[in-house]
Chains A and B, each alone.
Chain A
Amino acid sequence: MEHVVIIGNGIAGITAARHIRKLSNKKITVISAESDYFFSRTALMYVYMGHMKFEHTQPYENWFWKKNRIELVNAYVNKVDTENKTLLLQNSQPIKFDKLIIATGSKPNMFGWPGQDLKGVQGLYSKQDLELLEANAPNKEICKRAVIVGGGLIGIEMAEMLRSRDIPVTFLVREASFWDIVLPQGESQMINEHIREHHIDLQLNTNLVEIIPDENGRAKAVTTDKGETIECNVVGLTAGVSPNINFLKDSGITLGKGVLVNQFLETNIKDIYAIGDCAEQHRAIGSRRPVEAVWYTGRMMGEALAQTICGRKTPYNPGHWFNSAKFLDIEYQTYGWVFPADSKKEHEQHFHWRHPKEKICITVAYHKHSNQLLGINTFGIRMRHKIIDRWLTEEREIGYAMEHLRDANFDPEFYSRHEKAIVAHYNSTYGTNLAPKKKSWKRIFSNA
């Protein structure tokens, strides 16, 4: 029986394991040093905030693995011996494999800041990081202030977590506005406001210079490039993540930023594959980045690779880009591509509407000449994935999207709808005379 070994029990590795089991009878082993069972990394913040217990982050009950004959090994892989198809484990017997899937995810970026290894300085990625934060910042008496460095998704989540325990937070963001390398200006601006509403001390255009230790080797303050010294007990380093592949050095597997793979997720060595955050495409797919550290891409790579391993060679071929996040109380969804001013192409134009009172807005990107819809960002409005995906495939014009916006709305019943206001704003901006159409189940469920 062919033995498929998967390193990493995150969403990519586990999805691959589950689908290989669905499609075949192969022997499957999943190795992880992080946790005994698969859990949702995305939910770690809710454990700290008291919304959930750790067990709630585990999507499958513990009996699931045995029942589906997926063997779980809690161990750390020191080295991959590609010639003998063997994994060398720390404190455990080596494991032989016929096929190997590397799904080891990411690790927090450290940019060699002075003091980055002090006690009280940490990232937020793994289960161990969560436990560390619980120890470092159990309450506002022990952690009198925390400084978070890096204005991305993990940074704002960490700020939200600490604020849930009333811990004062200073948030150092390198950019001129929060996450403005991804978000257009109006949206980024709105999130700045919202961060401050939550009493987070947001410092834009500010870089960390140094973390200062106390006599016990614990962080006691940071200095910034604005010349300020901020006393704190915890420093959160959340300046992005990068592939967790140190153990593969000298293994013969070609590495770039991540494990280099082709669209079939194959590495340079036969029978060895890489998926999820740690995989790097030789050539980026569409406007996607070569390394995609996103939950659902990990899942999709796992689904595609399972097909390949079970004899149905299938490329990883993601459809239209989409993603979502939540910034404190504001939900964010994106479909297609909406680029900020710095990185958008010359032909990309934006239509932006913001609610006069609430933290609700929408940005629609379209082609200057053809009016073709390129992407939609919404804040505080939920959109129906299926509909916008279809519009993008059908290369609809922005006017069509405006008229049929109600079909794409996914807000709960009784919510105030904003289509009228959005289309009115569109009409007054472009001198058009569009009227929003009523929601039609027929259109929503038609596949034409």
Chain B
Amino acid sequence: MKAIKYIGLLIFLIGLSIFTLLPLTGTFTLSADNLQKVVTDQNLKSEIFVQELENTVVDKSFNGVSALSSKITTALENANAHHRKNKEYNKVMYVGPHDMAATLAKASGEGFLVNNKILMWFLTFGLGIIGALLFILPNVVLLGKKGIKNDGIYHENATNRGWIAWLVFIYLVSFYLLLYFRPEYAVNWTFTLDPFSQWLSGNPAGHWFVYGFMYSIVMTVMAVRMYIKYRHNTYQMVRTTSVLFFQIVFAFLIPEIMVRLQMPYYDFKNIFPLDYDFFFQWNLRSLLNSGGIGLFILVWGIALTLVAVPVLVYFFGKRWYCSWVCGCGGLAETLGDPYRQHSSKSLFSWKVERWLIHGVLVFAVGMTLMTLYSFFTASNTVIGIKTQSVQNAYSFLIGAIFAGVIGTGFYPIFGNRVWCRFGCPLAAYLGFVQRFKSRFRITTNGGQCISCGNCSTYCEQGIDVRAYAQKGENIVRSSCVGCGICSAVCPRGVLNLENGPLEGRINPTEVLLGNDVDLMDLVNKKS
């Protein structure tokens, strides 16, 4: 069994290595035809840009994407500078230089990779999946009897912030930086997924398709791990199935199929303000121009925020979204599960959390109000501030850096819910409702708590669960995503996630159940 695990690990690492080296390989030759196609598709008006590319790039063969990319980005920046200087604003290209490089690289790939897409898919994703499953599946036997299996978590390098964890940290951060800011390096990965993307949506794969595919695959494989690890706990099994379903069907498949049907790309479970560009001009225009379905999405999106959030949080707590539906939560609960113990439980972190997450909520709402004002008044600025700049700042700082690079990249060191705990504006909003008007609570079972601290250690949201449990108090914290792990790891059956009546939900007691009744009366009367 152990041998199978090690073979699996080896296969996984081979797949990962090929995947990692792929962006550095390949030959790229941009033909004049292909350049013309992109110019037409993107409606580029800059003849300077086209000319420079014709001189420096067209019909030349580049080894590796970096040489090609630097030519394209330089050409684009030079051309834009020229047009701005001459006030030829209609010729300025607003696409990012690296996105342009990615588009052109995609059109110029050739050689072994491009001719053997399915083989290359197998050597990267295929080996990764097979290796990971071989590594995970033997646990059915190796973990022994069903029950809590946290043995050795703090002895293992990978789960105790050892060098493996730091390597994973660096890898994930680099991956996200590349994805957001150097998409041309992802072009070789997109080739491997072209056949699948063509089949699904009729289009070749872009780097966001690669990301969506990877996201779903990683979640699926790590969900298998969850099923094995928590097979004694039905709540975890059902919850894992739910997040997996919403990721694969709602976040990945439906939007691609909608594209195939000439509808706008839309994830029906992504809720504003997490879906921060829902009210951006381009999105509103695209929805309003898409006929019935566009209008439906508009109404649906607004209803999610204004109706679904308060109603469902009232009945079930914010967990209905954060640990049952949300994609970010889904990744955190599968890929991130081995790292859940790293969330800081200190009071200081809690203070930082409240400032940050509510700050982001204010930022998101403020930006959206500006956006809507600009949309309806057709003015580009609000009290002298350019709406576009605020949107760009949010997209960069919150959308890319916080949610992506930090949100997932920091898993191995700071735990799996960094984004959800410190940054997600939707979580802040759900949390308000949960704290002040919800039936959800984690019930503390009388006086059974022995203060062991398993609950606090494994709370991914950094809640010091034990601090409440040992006082006999229910937990009604706004940040609780209802993952249910505190209840699972409790050795004494103290904690239970429940949707009960509002009355008695918050129950501060000075003396726990089990002690003399008169004493309780005495103390509680006093307070």
Interface residues of A (CB under 8 A from B): 11, 22, 40, 42-43, 46-47, 49-53, 56-59, 61, 164, 194, 197-198, 295-296, 299-300, 303-304, 307, 312, 314-320, 322, 324-326, 328-329, 331, 333, 382-386, 389, 410-416, 441, 444-445
Contact = CB atoms under 8 A, between A and B. Distances in A.
Contacts, number: 176
A412 B233 contact: yes
A331 B516 contact: no
B491 A40 contact: no
25 contacts: A11-B451, A40-B451, A40-B453, A43-B454, A50-B152, A50-B155, A56-B453, A61-B346, A300-B512, A300-B514, A307-B519, A315-B516, A317-B516, A318-B516, A319-B513, A319-B516, A319-B517, A320-B514, A325-B492, A329-B145, A331-B491, A382-B496, A384-B445, A412-B484, A444-B500
A333 B452 contact: no
Contacts of B493: 324, 331, 333, 382-383, 410
B470 interface: yes
A324 B448 contact: yes
Q: Most chain-A Cβ atoms within 10 A of its Cβ — which of B470, B519, B523?
A: B519
A296 B147 CA distance: 25
Given A46-B452, A329-B232, A413-B235, A51 B151 contact: yes
Contact of B153 (A50, A58, A61, A385): A50
B289 interface: no
B514 A414 contact: no
Contact of B522 (A46, A314, A416): A314
Contacts of A384: 445-446
B365 interface: no
Interface residues of B, number: 61
A59 B451 contact: yes
A441 B439 CA distance: 12
A50 B451 contact: no
Contacts of B452: 40, 42-43, 46, 57
B510 to A, nearest CB: 8
Contacts of A42: 450-452
Given A331-B492, A412-B235, A51 B515 contact: no
A318 B513 CA distance: 9
B150 interface: yes
B501 A441 contact: yes
A401 B319 CA distance: 33
A293 B504 CA distance: 32
Interface majority SS on B: helix, strand, loop or mixed?
loop
A46 B454 contact: yes
Given A50-B151, A51-B489, A386-B513, 8 more contacts: A50-B154, A296-B447, A296-B448, A317-B515, A329-B232, A331-B493, A382-B496, A441-B501
A47 to B, nearest CB: 8
Contacts of A385: 445-448, 513-514
A10 to B, nearest CB: 11
B450 A319 contact: no
A222 to B, nearest CB: 26
A303 B147 contact: no
A55 to B, nearest CB: 9
A416 B233 CA distance: 10
Given A303-B511, A331-B493, A414-B238, A322 B519 contact: no
A22 B470 CA distance: 16
Nearest to B501: A441
Interface string B230-262: 001111011000000000000000000000000
Contacts of B69: none
Given A42-B451, A51-B454, A385-B446, A329 B146 contact: yes
A56 B515 contact: no
A225 B446 CA distance: 44
B156 interface: yes
B390 interface: no
B470 A59 contact: yes
Given A314-B522, A445-B504, A319 B454 contact: no
A416 to B, nearest CB: 7
Contact of B144 (A11, A198, A415, A441): A198
Contacts of B347: 61
Nearest to A383: B493
B446 A412 contact: no
Contacts of A47: 154
A298 to B, nearest CB: 10
A18 B156 CA distance: 36
A312 B501 CA distance: 35
A295 B510 CA distance: 17
B144 A51 contact: no
Nearest to A15: B470
Nearest to B232: A329
B406 interface: no
B218 interface: no
A307 B487 CA distance: 32
Contact of B152 (A49, A198, A322, A328): A49
B453 A49 contact: no
B518 interface: yes
Interface in B314-343: none
B456 interface: yes
Interface in B354-396: none
Nearest to B159: A50
B492 A326 contact: yes
Contact of B503 (A198, A320, A445): A445
Nearest to B150: A51
A22 B510 CA distance: 10
Nearest to A161: B151
B457 A51 contact: yes
User: Which 6 pairs across A and B sit closest by C-beta, in order of nearness?
Assistant: A385-B446, A329-B147, A317-B516, A382-B493, A43-B452, A414-B234
A152 to B, nearest CB: 16
A43 B514 contact: no
Given A304-B519, A317-B515, A329-B148, A322 B154 contact: no
B466 interface: yes
Nearest to B156: A50
Nearest to A63: B347
B139 to A, nearest CB: 15
A331 B452 CA distance: 15
